[in-house]
Amino acid sequence: MSTNFAAGSFQATHSPSSITITRPDDWHLHLRDGNMLGMTVPATARTFHRAVIMPNLVPPVTTVELALAYRERIMAAVPTDMTFDPRMALYLTQDTTAETVRAAAQESHVIGFKLYPAGATTNSAAGVRSVADMAPVLEVMQEEGVPLLVHGEVTEPEIDIFDREKVFIDRYLQPITEKFPRLKVVLEHITTKDAADFVAAAHDGVAATLTPQHILMNRNDLLVGGVHVHNYCLPVLKRRTHQEALQKAAMSGNPKFFLGTDSAPHVREKKETACGCAGCFSAFTAIELYAQAFAAGNALDKLEGFASHFGADFYGIPRNQDTITLHAETWQAPTIVEHGGETWVPYWAGRDIHWRVAV
């Protein structure tokens, strides 16, 4: 398996041997719950200071009270030599009320609401069944300045899985951004040129997160030479022209595009099976892989804005004060992670990584 970069345009012409950037934040993260937090929290707090914690637990994190209790469990798992500031996303359901939105607006640890179309992804069964019917709640979110974070895929069985993001944008997101021009919207984990173009053209309050896998890979990395289950996530990897558009967006310096790993662990038995779960577990290698992609794109000078500035600016949160340093040094991503008697295969397992965080 090789990393696919467009021939010519992605050859580094100048590569420094180290780079120091403001400490980054991860604006899209799955930590899961319970015993696993002892593994997932240090993996992210190792390099990131703030993270948006996705609420797709079972049962989902639908209220401020549930989110604050979950946040406490996360904080209890932060190692004493690390700092971490989780910002909680609440799970938007068909029954979310205006009062819940107003309560969320008052709570600084809550960052916004996550819209999962019901059935679109892992633990989305409690998600939204009719986006149109959510208009009154979106109105209150706009009034209260509460951001809407979106898994942007339709779920209609007749729509091809590779078209589901574009159709969601055309059917739902474009109308939402027109109807609510002051609503802050993050289109999460974008995977297509259509999404990048939509976000670039939309009003200033519309932004997108980009994952390492969608920048570094395309659907060949999922399907050529066998099914590569550890590269399977949703929205699914797209063709190379889309990958190139995402690389361009991430490395453009446009503040609408910022880092969100979508690190999403599933135990090994749930990935390496006949019907494997969606999600790439990238926390152990995330900032290093972004650095690798930006270096290959001769755009290391754009990494800090993407990883450490634009997300904080979008959410109106101060940028971090401290820094991290990455060195040009080749090492191998872990092949396996074990914790509490369970096993995970991380994203990029066993493969070379050319940047390493100084400890």
CB of residue 76 to ligand NCD, shortest distance in Å: 22
153 binds Zn ion (CB under 5 A): no
Q: Is 206 helix (H, G, I), strand (E, B) or coil?
A: strand
Q: Give the other-Cβ count within 10 Å of 70's Cβ.
A: 19
Residue 132 φ/ψ, nearest 5 degrees: -55, -40
Query: How remote is the C-alpha of 353 from its chain's centroid?
Result: 20
Q: Is 32 annotated as a binding residue?
A: yes
Q: Is 189 annotated as a binding residue?
A: yes
Indicate which of Zn ion, ligand NCD, none lies near residue 56 (CB less than 5 to 8 Å, by partner kind): ligand NCD
Q: Which long-range contacts (CB under 8 A, 24 or more apart) does 74-81 make?
A: 74/31, 74/37, 74/41, 76/37, 77/37, 77/38, 77/40, 77/41, 77/42, 78/41, 78/42, 78/45, 79/41, 79/42, 79/45
262 binds Zn ion (CB under 5 A): yes
91 vs 355, which CB is nearer to ligand NCD?
Answer: 91
CB of residue 234 to ligand NCD, shortest distance in Å: 4
Which residues make up the interface to ligand NCD (CB under 6 A)? 30, 56, 121-122, 151, 233-234, 262, 264, 278-279
DSSP state of 27: E
Q: Is 37 helix (H, G, I), strand (E, B) or coil?
A: helix
57 vs 77, which CB is nearer to ligand NCD?
Answer: 57
Q: Is 234 annotated as a binding residue?
A: yes
Stretch that binds Zn ion, among 79-87, 100-108, 260-268, 332-340 (CB under 5 A): 260-268
233 vs 326, which CB is nearer to ligand NCD?
Answer: 233
26 binds Zn ion (CB under 5 A): no
Q: Is 28 annotated as a binding residue?
A: yes
CB of residue 158 to ligand NCD, shortest distance in Å: 21
β-pair type (18-22, 323-332): antiparallel
Q: Give the other-Cβ count within 10 Å of 325's Cβ.
A: 12
**CA 144/CA 172 separation, integer angstroms:** 21
All residues at 6 or more sequence positions from 194 whose CB lies less than 8 Å from its CB, including other chains: 165, 166, 169
Which segments of the chain does DSSP mark as H helices, in order?
A: 37-45, 64-75, 98-106, 135-144, 164-168, 174-179, 193-201, 212-216, 220-223, 240-250, 268-271, 286-296, 303-304, 310-315
Of the candidates 26, 194, 221, 262, the residue annotated as catalytic is: 262
CB of residue 179 to ligand NCD, shortest distance in Å: 25
Q: Is 230 annotated as a binding residue?
A: no
User: What is the number of H-type helices and E-type strands within the chain?
Assistant: 14, 13
**Residue whose token pair is 């040129």:** 193
Q: Is 266 annotated as a binding residue?
A: yes
**CA 328/CA 15 separation, integer angstroms:** 9
Is 262 annotated as catalytic?
yes
Indicate which of ligand NCD, Zn ion, none lies near residue 233 (CB less than 5 to 8 Å, by partner kind): ligand NCD
CB of residue 123 to ligand NCD, shortest distance in Å: 6
Listed residue (314, 329, 303) closest to 22, CA to CA: 303
**CA 52/CA 286 separation, integer angstroms:** 15
208 vs 326, which CB is nearer to ligand NCD?
Answer: 208
63 vs 261, which CB is nearer to ligand NCD?
Answer: 261
Stretch that binds Zn ion, among 35-43, 173-181, 245-253, 261-269 (CB under 5 A): 261-269
Looking at residues 86 to 145 of the shown chain, list those that interact with Zn ion (rule: CB under 5 A): 121
222 vs 250, which CB is nearer to ligand NCD?
Answer: 222
Q: Is 278 annotated as a binding residue?
A: yes
Binding positions: 28, 30-32, 56, 114, 151, 189, 234, 262, 266, 278
Binding positions for substrate: 30-32, 56, 151, 234, 266, 278
Summarize as ranges the residues that interact with Zn ion (CB under 5 A).
Answer: 121, 151, 262
Q: Which residues are catalytic?
A: 262
Binding positions for Zn(2+): 28, 30, 114, 151, 189, 262
